Structure 1
């Protein structure tokens, strides 16, 4: 999986970060802007050549007062975001630290601030500051979409909105259209603007979620701190800066398009975030002539071949392996799996799925066994980020073994494979991520493994594993991985060392708070 660097930046040690980036020669983050970059979009103190005094010398004009102009109001609506976030360690889940980040946001309708999700992820304290103003205003997260890398903030002090105005979301820009990206990148404290053009509009992976969606590529420099800043064409927002190129290419940045922004805002109209619908089907392009001939397709018939329908989903009731999907929402699908979205511009057909809200109906035209059919497919399941966000670590330590859970990715399986899977009800894996050295776990100090069973019994989630371990009454606890590798714990020795381990590793608790109710339940059952 490619890693696309996001453009938020830690506030602490900025000079060190910049030095390291320059030393590593990552041009997309460290290179100077090759397009015009202003200290402030409001800098307007120029004199005119045709205004002279009696001797012919140019007149010195006083700076223009922009305090009440439309340009000033626009600039007042773009804010610098200071985030203090909780930072947790996978290898030491009982411990946490804090991290400071800087990003950009802007005011939209309803006295809300729009920014990137990764700018405010795991936040414990958020402040906003306008360009050139010393005052900071406390804010909090109103809603967040890790799938779209977007977040809405609410400012606690209403007086914040007395200046400036909200920025309006515009239409999807055209390729080669000129835009201006606003933000607070590293290297200064004032609002900057970088001009560039839209290079392309594609369907690609978002770094924050690991999910693919429509994105705008621009040649304007996007640097750390620009995250969440608006891109303007005219007076309207046509994108939100989110990440730079995966391989460090110079002056290639990516923005979240208006279609995704509007989907997020519309989703929240009922006061709840539902997310983006999942298309639980795997398809194949129909470019190859032999493949098309096998399915008896004429030259005029285009589309994609359904190769798998995910078992356990609603899609099983409407689609079958071997179906040819020819249209989505009445838009023809080309043999390479794309649909037209602008004149002469094509994009992955899943773009049309992303335009729908959860529980909408997707209209598909298909060919099944040579016959044309219309299918109304309910979109009743939301797609979720590949990564875990905004969650405190869950852990349990026993005998020095640090156990943590990981959620299972819902892999798409064919029905026959799904029915054979004896672990289809499993929702979490449990792993030993670290071993805190002690006399009872000698020989396993460098161990890391995923646990398949405990004393021969399988489990479906972390809580079930915890109960099974705590209820063992035999002298030994045997943990096995999928290949049969065994970790044997002497129960009496492990329990005798628990208190000492707490002191030695400065732990307040041997387990995360989410397991406290189970512990109380087990203690009560013993009485």
Structure 2
């Protein structure tokens, strides 16, 4: 991820000279001028009760770090030092450690809020206040990789004797000025950058690969800023999380209050459940011919359902060809958006994200030309595209390193699902590396996804392991979807097994999650 640091030099020119000359003649004017132009840690704008053209209050001044109250609040923004376990996909039996730096802040309940990616796979976490040498040990109490958020608790309660918790505010409006606080690389002190909210969109979170509401700002967010609060007035209106994917300068993204509040509310029962999944694929109804085919009037808007995931709850309530016209009583536009602020629209899935797991989603639909209402249970949680906080799972046989991978697409039409002979499959298994040995000559550069073992299918990694261990034939034949074959001489592979472990400094040829199967198979031997 490429990022650019913000830089800038204040300009001093003719206006300063004119002000200096005027001050000689008019001391009172000079004094007033000094109040406006004097440098301060955070440039401020005057607080006001005025409202803009759409009824929002005009932005109040960001925190002024020169006053006592603001200093207490700044003490509630902390630098996070994380030591994390680093694993290798190609050498899953090995692990190393890496150090990461991020930002967090105190919220109600003596908890620290930060990004999930700041504390992912942690083995040790410390917190430090701005300008203070002391570090405090912390631990993760809840984490949402889907929302890229995590909650920490500090082991030493004396940590909370200073500072105050930061309150969550409302979603900022486009063009509103905000201040982003954090500890970016390049220094040890608290940094403040100001920016303008340029967009509020539905886009992909880099950490999870899932799309959700996000705030785009034109302020620099650099490594170390992650997890830091964005403030408007004295309230948090976002959490810094990532920069533009293509490395555009001074474009950062924040997690909005709606997602933060969802995460915190989810945890009120002491358990994290996640965000509900809407297992339906839709198409926009912008094209006139498409709208005409479905007999829609000019006043009727919505999106067309093109796929309902087989085996998921929506299959009991929705059908291909249904048109969703409203979601939670909010009209869905032909481009698939709903209103979320005056004159501002966002992807309709935003409404799904506002629900907790096991809530009910209210849908107005048109089916075969007739209006219907549907109360859809949201009973399945969406999961991150990537694996997090998990140790690598692996199995090595004959020098072939096997690891499980998630299925690429589990949403299928019913007709495709019914005829799919692999519909019960929950994991793929791939050869990610071949450890060179005499028994696997010719395959040293191989990488492939395994579909069959001696003609047999398997549904997950554990079943794959059992099949491999139970083979009694002289040869094991592995095939991919195209019929490409890898043939393993079972006797030669087993004879080289101990030597391979020594050669590549492996304590075990399999991950601990398979140890119970190894014991089970050993008992079953005659």
| Superposition TM-score, scaled by structure 2 size | 0.89
Cα separation, 1, equivalents of 2:137 and 2:465: 40
Cα separation, 2, equivalents of 1:158 and 1:313: 45
Cα separation, 1, equivalents of 2:329 and 2:321: 20
1:33 deviates by 5.7
Which residue matches 2:7? 32
Which residue matches 1:468? 467
Kept in 1: contact 2:285–2:303 (CA 8 A): yes
Q: In structure 1, the residue corresponding to 2:4 is in which secondary structure?
A: helix
Which residue matches 1:375? 374
Q: In structure 1, the residue corresponding to 2:335 is in which secondary structure?
A: coil
1:473 deviates by 1.2
Unaligned runs of 5+ in 2: 12-22, 29-64
State the Cα RMSD in Å. Answer: 1.8
Unaligned runs of 5+ in 1: 6-25, 37-47, 52-65
Q: In structure 2, the residue corresponding to 1:433 is in which secondary structure?
A: strand
Which residue matches 1:161? 160
Kept in 2: contact 1:218–1:254 (CA 8 A): yes
Kept in 2: contact 1:33–1:221 (CA 8 A): no
1:410 deviates by 4.5
Which residue matches 2:201? 202
Which residue matches 1:215? 214
Q: In structure 2, the residue corresponding to 1:29 is in which secondary structure?
A: coil
Cα separation, 1, equivalents of 2:510 and 2:194: 51
Which residue matches 1:122? 121
Q: In structure 2, the residue corresponding to 1:403 is in which secondary structure?
A: strand
- Alignment: residue pair count: 478
1:67 deviates by 10
What are the within-5 Å matches in structure 2 for residues 323-362 of structure 1? 323-362=322-361
What are the within-5 Å matches in structure 2 for residues 55-454 of structure 1? 69-454=68-453
Which residue matches 1:40? none
1:35 deviates by 9.6
Offset from partner CA, 1:104-143 (integer Å, 9 cap, x none): 0000001100000000010011000000000000011110
Which residue matches 1:59? none
Which residue matches 2:43? none
Cα separation, 2, equivalents of 1:485 and 1:288: 44
Kept in 1: contact 2:5–2:220 (CA 8 A): no
1:29 deviates by 2.4
Kept in 1: contact 2:196–2:217 (CA 8 A): yes
Kept in 2: contact 1:353–1:362 (CA 8 A): yes
1:33 to 1:477, Cα distance in 2 relative to 1, 3 A: farther
1:82 to 1:35, Cα distance in 2 relative to 1, 3 A: farther
Cα separation, 2, equivalents of 1:33 and 1:120: 32
Q: In structure 2, the residue corresponding to 1:262 is in which secondary structure?
A: helix
Q: In structure 2, the residue corresponding to 1:497 is in which secondary structure?
A: helix
1:339 deviates by 0.6
Q: Which structure has the higher relative contact order (CA within 8 Å, separation 6+)?
A: 1
Q: In structure 2, the residue corresponding to 1:443 is in which secondary structure?
A: coil
Cα separation, 2, equivalents of 1:409 and 1:271: 32
1:30 deviates by 3.6
1:233 to 1:481, Cα distance in 2 relative to 1, 3 A: same
1:34 deviates by 7.9
Which residue matches 2:477? 478
1:171 deviates by 0.2
